[in-house]
Amino acid sequence: MSLRIIILGASGTLGTYATRQALAEGHQVTALVRNPAKLAADLQGRVAVCQADLSNVASTDLADKLRAHDVLINTAGFVTDGEAFVQLIDRIVSAVEALPADARPVCWFLAGAGLLDLDARGRRGLDLPKVRTTYWPHAKNHERLMRSTLDWRLLCPGPMVETPPVGVERLRVSQEHLPVQLPRMMARLPDLLALVFFAKRMPEMIVSYADAAALMLHRLKPQGEFSRQRIGLALPAGMRGSKDQWTAQAGAKSKP
């Protein structure tokens, strides 16, 4: 079934993958971008383009742009922007809330593996030292979503890289907790030791942008199985992603 999908941040890496895959699956796609010229060349003329700066657009104006869409996929914003990232997510959530309940799209948002539970106590990766310093905005954004009545899903992958997909059907997918195996005594470990195990499992959660985009596009049913859940992703058991590749990509993207 063809859906009307609006992708926020469609000119970014994950947004580009999501846009291409949505078109390939026959959906009607609107790309909301700050600068239409940055939209990938192969997408020009194939999507409806909506220009807006999410950092300062009024929620009422954004609500008008979101109206008449079945699905919203937000790939905009960076956790390293701190409070600005929190404000961006709040602005988007408020815009969807401004729509009548029966006109609100299914919403996908993005966080990180650190937001997922590590143990039965509900301790998360971002509750650990060093991790919380950078990734605390994910907790704030999750709290904002929990306060809303939206039909949202929060994708929480590890680092994403531009590698060939392994296929959604092969991924380990979890709800609320990490998708990798941790020691049974994890709940009894002090934070610093828990951090060691969390970091050691991270290569298993280095997934491709293509797989992350595909998972979102395969779970668009209103009030479906992932509704109002944090969703974790990991490679098939025994497979590990490359930290070196992730570090190299991150460094390249940080250059002006």
pLDDT tens-digit map of 5-28: 999 999 999 999 999 999 999 999
Section 138-155 average pLDDT: 98
The Cα–Cα gap between 66 and 131 comes to 33
Higher-pLDDT residue of 59 and 28 is 28
Rounded Cα distance between 210 and 166, Å, is: 9
Q: Which residue has the tokens 């590698």?
A: 163
Question: Residue 243's pLDDT band (boundaries 50, 70, 90)?
Answer: low
- For the cut 90, the answer to whether the pLDDT of residue 38 exceeds it is yes
Average pLDDT over residues 36-51: 96
Of 40, 32, 24, the C-alpha closest to 57 is: 32
**Averaged pLDDT of the chain:** 94
Of the pLDDT bands very low, low, confident and very high (cuts 50, 70, 90), residue 256 is very low
251, pLDDT greater than 80: no
Angle at 120 between CA 119 and CA 125, to 5 degrees: 30
- Alpha-carbon span 23 to 19, nearest angstrom: 6
pLDDT band at residue 242 under the 50/70/90 scheme: confident
Q: How far apart are CA 225 and CA 245, in angstroms?
A: 33
Q: How confident is the model at residue 135 (pLDDT cuts 50, 70, 90)?
A: very high
pLDDT reported for residue 252:
47
Which pLDDT value is given to residue 247?
53
Residue appearing with tokens 């971002």: 126
Helix spans in 148-224 (H): 191-201, 209-217
The residues with which 32 forms a beta bridge, in sequence order, are 8, 50
Alpha carbon distances (Å) from 134 to 37, 83, 137, 164: 31, 11, 8, 28
Strands (E), 12-118: 28-33, 48-51, 71-74, 106-110
How many CA atoms are closer than 13 Å to the CA of 190, on its beta-carbon side? 2
Tens-place pLDDT, residues 213-237? 999 999 999 999 999 999 999 999 9
Cα–Cα distance, 254 to 161 (Å, whole number) = 14
How far lies 102's CA from each of 64, 68, 97, 150, 222, in Å?
15, 11, 11, 11, 11
Higher-confidence residue of 161 and 249: namely 161
**pLDDT at position 203 over 60:** yes
pLDDT at residue 255, as a whole number: 36
Confidence (pTM): 0.93
- What is residue 75's three-state secondary structure? coil
- Per-residue confidence at 1, pLDDT binned at 50, 70, 90? confident
